[in-house]
Every structure is written in structure tokens, then in C-alpha cells.
């Protein structure tokens, strides 16, 4: 098996059928203010799930509770069948974590760092294969403090997948990466999904969520306001079409869920059946996302 590969788990067992993550009524308060306000969430085994939301929405706090590094104030949480607040060493061996900040020491080389952390895992990915997977082979002998920001993120990703986790948490993993490195990272995540690893990631890059995620959830003001496949996110918002044209010398714009009737009227009104500057646009993921984070009162789906 190549880097990050693991033998596929037997299917059909009770453990395989339960979600990798199940959250009910999750609440976290700071100074009396709820930064996570009653979130319900399930992440299926083997899927890539992306959490989207503006800064301060509660994404990182939620993920840290799931990782067992932050205590919740209310709610029920199970991760790989256990409460992360009481999960022991065996449970922690089954998860991988890539946080927002690097924890790798500066004095060691990249290879020395990965070799050091192999001792923390029962069946670590061989260092050479791991270096190739994250695109750090040429930087293997470079000290960590000499790496670029993008290279340090790759090293963090390598440390996160080194133990072949069943569930991998990625908190804004491609921040600081150049476009080539981001694409290499995407390939790595796709390979993990193919081999059955569950991935929960947060990201500010909507193209990343659209490319990688089986489903996405949008968090705003501490509440999960929508969950679904990227292409379906927004429900009714997806059916709102923007029709633009020029009438006389003035630009016109109409937003409608039934553009057919409007287009027929516009074409019938012109003796030549032509409408100047006519365009019909359906909202993309970015448009839907911006609408969702601006309307936190929408019900969770």
C-alpha cells in the first residue's frame, strides 16, 4: 500500500452504520454569549464534510469540541462512537488533527520531524511515502524554521495523516498554500476519501468546498443554517434567477423563480425578437453562501 493507505474496514457492522460524528444541541458560551448555539450535526462515515462560515461564526470552536480539546457547555456529542470529552488514548489514535497553527518544532528538519512523530503511532505511514504525498520530498532536509508558510501547512497535513486516522479534522488546511500546493492537497484528500477516511474540514475557499466535499454545512452566528451537497445548497435560493437586459438606455434587472414567462414577454415586445444585453444567471455557491450567512434565521436543513 502507498502512503496514507489503510486496509478497508469491514462493512455492514454496527460501528460502520453509525455516523462518524453525531451532535445534538451543542452549546458553547464565553462570558454569557453563546458562540455555538444549539448545533445539530451528523457526519457520515467515509464522507468529506466541509464547514463554511465567516470569521467568528463558531466553526473552529465546534471542531475543537469534536476533537476533545475544548469543553462544551451543553449538548450531546459522539465522535467515532465516543464522547470526545472523555475519549482516551485508543480513541485519540483513531483521529487526526490539522489545526490552524503549526505545532512542529523549528530546529529539526522536515524528515527528522516526521521520523520523530512515527513513535506516537502504532502503524505510521513511512516517512518517504508521506513526504511524496504532501509534496515535501525536495524539502525533506530543510529545517522547519526555513520553510515557507505553505510548506509548513503541508508538514502539518503530513503529521495529521501520519497515523492513518479513521477521521481527519482539517481546520483551514490550505491557508498560505500556493495554487499548485492546494491542488496537491486536494488530491491527497480525494485519496483519503477513496480509502474510507472520514474528513471534516473548515475552509474559507468556496471552490475548495465545492471540489472536495460530499456535503457542506454553513454556520453563522453560532448556528448551523443549512446542510447539503454543494450543488444543492440553498434550496429555494437556487431557483431565484436574475434576468438582466437593456431597455432604451437604462439597464433593467429582475429576480424571479419563473424566468420563462418574463423572457417570453421580453422577446414578444421586440419586433425582431432581440433583447439588448440579455443575460440569465442562476446563483452559484458563492451567491448562495452570502445569502445564507446574511440570514441566520433560516432553518437548518
- CATH number for position 130: 3.40.50.300
pLDDT at site 298 = 43
- Assess if residue 30 is contained within a domain: no
Give residue 287's Cα distance to chain centre. 18
pLDDT at site 103 = 60
- Assess if residue 23 is contained within a domain: no
pLDDT at site 261 = 83
Are residues 160 and 265 both part of a single domain? no
Q: What is the DSSP letter of 82?
A: B
Are residues 261 and 142 both part of a single domain? no
pTM: 0.78
Are residues 275 and 192 both part of a single domain? no
Residues 6+ apart with CB under 8 A from 239: 257
- Assess if residue 19 is contained within a domain: no
Are residues 156 and 110 both part of a single domain? yes
- Assess if residue 13 is contained within a domain: no
Q: End of a domain among 162, 194, 228?
A: 228
Are residues 212 and 252 both part of a single domain? no
Distant-in-sequence contacts of 184-191, Cβ < 8 A, 24+ apart: 184/134, 184/135, 184/154, 185/134, 185/154, 185/157, 186/211, 186/212, 188/4, 188/133, 188/134, 188/157, 188/161, 189/48, 191/4, 191/133
Q: End of a domain among 228, 263, 290?
A: 228
Number of Cα atoms under 13 Å in the Cβ half of residue 228: 17
- Assess if residue 137 is contained within a domain: yes
Give residue 161's Cα distance to chain centre. 16
> What's the burial of 41, exposed, middle or buried (CB within 10 Å: 0-12/13-18/19+)?
buried
Are residues 49 and 180 both part of a single domain? yes
- Assess if residue 173 is contained within a domain: yes
Phi, psi (deg, nearest 5) at residue 71: -85, 140
Are residues 99 and 224 both part of a single domain? yes
Low-confidence residues of the chain, pLDDT below 50?
1-14, 297-301
Measured N-to-C along each axis, helices 149-161 and 110-117 cross at an angle, to the nearest 10 degrees, of 20
pLDDT at site 239 = 75
Residues 6+ apart with CB under 8 A from 24: 40, 75, 76, 77
pLDDT at site 300 = 38
3-state class (DSSP) for residue 5: coil
Total number of domains constituting the chain: 2
The position carrying cell 455555538 is 36
Are residues 137 and 191 both part of a single domain? yes
Domain containing 221: what range?
Answer: 44-66+89-228
Are residues 273 and 219 both part of a single domain? no
- Assess if residue 254 is contained within a domain: yes
Are residues 128 and 184 both part of a single domain? yes
pLDDT at site 157 = 86
Strands 241-247 and 279-281: antiparallel
Q: What is each CA distance from 292 to 33, 91, 227, in whole angstroms?
A: 22, 35, 11
- Give yes or no for a contact between 110 and 146, defined as CB atoms under 8 angstroms apart: no
Q: Enter the C-alpha cell of residue 301.
A: 436543513
3-state class (DSSP) for residue 132: helix
234 Ramachandran zone, left/alpha/beta (phi>0; psi -120 to 50): left
- Give the Cα separation of 267 and 147 in Å (integer): 60
Are residues 163 and 136 both part of a single domain? yes
pLDDT at site 104 = 60
Are residues 186 and 208 both part of a single domain? yes
Question: pLDDT, tens digit, for every residue of 40-81?
Answer: 999 999 999 999 998 889 999 999 999 999 999 999 999 999
The count of other CB atoms within 10 Å of the CB of residue 244 is 15
- Give the Cα separation of 61 and 39 in Å (integer): 12
Residues 6+ apart with CB under 8 A from 270: none
- Assess if residue 211 is contained within a domain: yes
pLDDT at site 59 = 92
Q: CA nearest 139: which of 154, 160, 124?
A: 154
Q: End of a domain among 202, 228, 254?
A: 228
pLDDT at site 15 = 53
Amino acid at each position: 500500500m502507498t502512503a496514507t493507505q489503510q486496509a478497508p474496514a469491514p462493512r455492514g457492522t454496527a460501528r460502520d452504520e453509525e455516523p462518524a460524528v453525531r451532535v445534538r444541541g451543542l452549546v458553547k458560551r464565553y462570558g454569557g454569549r453563546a458562540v455555538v448555539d444549539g448545533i445539530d450535526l451528523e457526519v457520515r462515515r467515509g464522507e468529506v464534510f466541509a464547514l463554511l462560515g465567516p470569521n467568528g461564526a463558531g466553526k473552529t470552536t465546534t471542531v475543537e469540541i469534536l476533537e476533545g480539546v475544548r469543553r462544551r457547555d451543553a449538548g450531546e456529542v459522539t465522535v467515532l462512537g465516543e464522547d470526545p470529552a472523555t475519549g482516551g488514548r485508543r480513541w485519540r489514535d483513531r483521529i487526526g488533527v490539522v489545526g490552524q497553527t503549526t505545532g512542529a518544532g523549528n530546529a529539526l528538519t522536515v524528515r527528522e520531524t516526521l521520523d520523530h512523530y512515527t513513535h506516537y503511532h502504532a502503524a505510521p505511514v513511512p516517512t518517504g511515502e508521506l513526504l511524496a504525498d504532501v509534496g515535501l520530498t525536495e524539502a525533506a532536509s530543510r529545517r522547519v524554521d526555513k520553510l515557507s508558510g505553505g510548506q509548513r501547512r503541508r508538514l502539518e497535513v503530513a503529521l495529521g495523516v501520519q497515523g492513518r486516522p479513521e477521521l481527519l479534522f482539517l481546520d483551514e488546511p490550505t491557508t498560505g498554500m500556493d495554487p499548485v500546493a492546494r491542488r496537491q492537497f486536494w488530491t491527497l484528500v480525494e485519496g483519503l476519501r477513496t480509502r474510507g477516511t472520514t474528513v471534516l474540514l473548515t475552509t474559507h475557499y468556496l471552490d475548495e468546498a465545492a471540489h472536495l466535499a460530499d456535503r457542506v454545512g454553513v454556520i453563522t452566528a453560532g448556528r448551523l443554517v443549512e446542510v447539503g451537497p454543494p450543488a444543492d445548497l440553498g434550496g429555494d435560493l437556487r431557483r431565484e434567477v436574475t434576468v438582466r437586459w437593456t431597455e432604451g438606455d437604462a439597464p433593467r434587472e429582475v429576480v424571479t423563480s419563473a424566468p420563462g414567462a418574463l423572457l417570453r414577454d421580453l422577446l414578444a415586445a421586440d419586433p425582431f425578437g432581440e433583447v439588448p444585453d440579455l443575460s440569465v444567471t442562476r446563483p452559484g455557491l458563492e451567491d448562495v453562501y452570502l445569502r445564507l450567512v446574511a440570514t441566520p434565521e433560516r432553518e437548518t436543513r
